Amino acid sequence: MERRERGYIWLEKELRLSLLISAGMILTFFAVLYICDPGFRFFWQFLLAALSADGIWQYVRYRKEYRNYVHIADYLEQFEEGNYEYRTETEYMRTGIRSQITEQLERMGNAFGTLRSGLIEEKENTKTLVTDISHQLKTPVAALSMCFELMEDARITDAERAEFAARGAGEIKKLKYLTETLTNLSRMEAGMIQIHPGEASLKETLVRAVNGVYLKANMKNIEIEMEDFKDMMLPHDKKWTAEAFANVLDNAVKYSPEGTTVHIRVSPQISYVFVEIEDEGIGIAKEEYQNIFRRFYRGSRPEIEACEGAGVGLYLVRQILEEQGGSIRAVAGKAGGTVFQMTLPKKSYVQE
């Protein structure tokens, strides 16, 4: 039985019960009136008029209730079919309970629509994750397999065997980096990684981040220059904030040519501290500035595709900073490259 039919039967029963009660009360009133004054003029006419008026009033009230019911049922049926953008006539211009219910239903539809969009996006991101992981793992695994096969060849020289061993070691490092990054991502989203801000030296945190990428920068003859600033104690998680800075520095080194410089600048503001990391690399297209902080997003330029990565580093940076009340954005550098501008609050951030 359809919802409308069930509602019609329910409202019809309510109408009958209401008519029975009101008619009983009218008959009781007129019976008492008749007993008190048997000679009351136009008694039967008044009785029939009262019963008729009551019947008309009850029917009008019933029709109004039924229209309201149908109005709500229309929304619910559309929601069941997945049409969360369903709207009827402009109820917001009216007053009363119906317009209020309509407004609440529209808000509910917007919430459901947002939730569905999020679930669809999450599903697509999961598909992308599986594709990215398989792609990222396929390349180093295939290279490792080839290196070991060639090393087993008795015809190669010791020098060639050493070269293949070195290449294999490089692919193992890539696998280690990839698995660690994906593990951190999954732990962060599962709530297993807890950010615990505490008063700590900002300069020590930055030095810790620089030390994490120093060898990689040295291999490409890239200098990392930190402009001198007065150290300060900030409420932040030393480990994960250093991890965030290191991820930005790692990107700067990864996508910059040899012999360039990465600059780190710190400038205190009234309520927060401004940290800039500027590279002289390939730069980022303006339309990609917001996308680069999305999970699993990687640019389509050949220079980016040639480097290892899963597109989760900057996403983790954003998550770590925002958990502490900070932020991150990317802008174009004056001499090319990219400037990552990050903020951290001077006072402890309490997440609502």
- How far are the Cα atoms of 129, 142, 150, 223, 261 from residue 250, in angstroms, in the given order? 21, 25, 32, 13, 13
Q: 343 is written with which tokens?
A: 């903020």
CA distance 21 to 145: 87
Domains of the chain, first to last: 3-114 (no CATH), 124-189 (1.10.287), 198-345 (3.30.565.10)
Mean pLDDT across the stretch 66-81? 73
- What average pLDDT does the structure give for the chain? 78
Residue 97 has a pLDDT of 61
Please check the confidence at residue 92 and state whether its pLDDT lies above 50: no
Give the CA diameter of the chain: 131
Highest mean pLDDT among 41-45, 227-231, 283-287: 227-231
CA distance 85 to 252: 43
pLDDT band at 302 (very low <50, low <70, confident <90, very high): low
Q: 95 is written with which tokens?
A: 């007053």
Position 256, amino acid? S
Mean pLDDT across the stretch 154-163? 80
Please check the confidence at residue 339 and state whether its pLDDT lies above 80: yes
Mean pLDDT across the stretch 20-27? 83
Decide: 72 and 101 in contact? Cβ < 8 Å: yes
pLDDT band at 272 (very low <50, low <70, confident <90, very high): very high
CA distance 306 to 13: 73
Share of the chain above pLDDT 90, in %: 21
284 DSSP assignment: -
CA distance 126 to 107: 28
Between residues 281 and 1, which one has the greater pLDDT? 281
Task: Convert the pLDDT of each residue in 228-262 to its tens digit.
Answer: 999 999 999 999 999 999 999 988 888 888 999 99
Residue 298 has a pLDDT of 64
Q: 284 is written with which tokens?
A: 């980022």
Per DSSP bridges, beta strands 261-268 and 223-226 are parallel
Mean pLDDT across the stretch 123-138? 70
Decide: 347 and 273 in contact? Cβ < 8 Å: no
CA distance 265 to 26: 87
CB atoms within 10 A of CB 283: 17
Residue 1 has a pLDDT of 44
